[in-house]
Amino acid sequence: MASHRRALVTGASAGIGEAFARELARRGYDLVLTARRADRLEALAKDLRERHAVEAIVAPLDLARTDGPEALVAALEAQGLAIDVLVNNAGYGVPGYFEEQPWATHAAFIQVLMTAPTELAWRLLPAMKARGYGRILNIASLAGHIPGSAGHTLYAASKAYLIKFSQSLALECAGTGVHATAVCPGFTYSEFHDVTGSRELVSKMPGFMWMDAPAVARQGLDAADAGKAVYVTGRVNRAIKSLFKLIPDTLALKMVQRQGRRFRTGPRGG
């Protein structure tokens, strides 16, 4: 159990982020919860305080703001709140073909899923190293291990980035007491597919393909504590990753293309 250690969870208002917050609180960590929806954060913080007697602070923030990570860390430092565990979870999908979305939409996506987690890690890492303890969990995806699909052009690319970033960071932090881990879930029960409008389509996936968010959080935190640089949650997902490593790239791309037609949203889907 944690003793006077604190975790920062981004995208904590629902889904995998909420599950990480709950699991960290269960393990005794104090929390800083950030997301856009302040009402949900307040309700979650209240519940965690009552259930686990931990400190839970709410810091509403839209990480699409380019000054968001700097402002958040400055506010924490001003309050004397050290962060021992960073869970970079905030994220979403942008359905539709690449050129059909305005550049501002893509720029915001890159800011939230790539720039913000990288900057938060950069700003919090020195103090973690100085204290001799830290965990940086970048919530990537199985999608980062397989070819990108049409219709979510930047999603797999952003997750592949988080995987490579975590690997390099893990090597740089070796021996310091700080562990960096890319946690790679597959299909997970959450609001993600409701937000992207793909709930009806992905519901066609067989039940054995799905995991629940609490299981992802438990496995992810255990992997970080064990010092694993990359961890794919669930046996089925690990089998899929292994399969795509073995087959030729051209065949893998064709498989993703064929499967993607079944689950694509937007005007060119189907």
Closest CA to 14 of 51, 39, 31, 49: 39
Q: Where do we find the tokens 């496995």?
A: 219
Query: Residue 139 phi/psi, 5° resolution?
Result: -80, 100
Beta strand spans in the chain (E): 6-10, 30-34, 56-58, 85-88, 134-139, 178-184, 187-189, 210-212, 230-232
Question: Radius of gyration over alpha carbons of the chain, in Å?
Answer: 18
Q: From CA 267, how far away is CA 69, in angstroms rounded? A: 35
CA dihedral 9, 10, 14, 18 (to 10 degrees): -10
- Torsion sign over Cα 9, 12, 17, 20: positive
Residue 238 near residue 232, CB atoms below 8 Å: yes
Catalytic residue positions? 155
Three-class SS of residue 81? coil
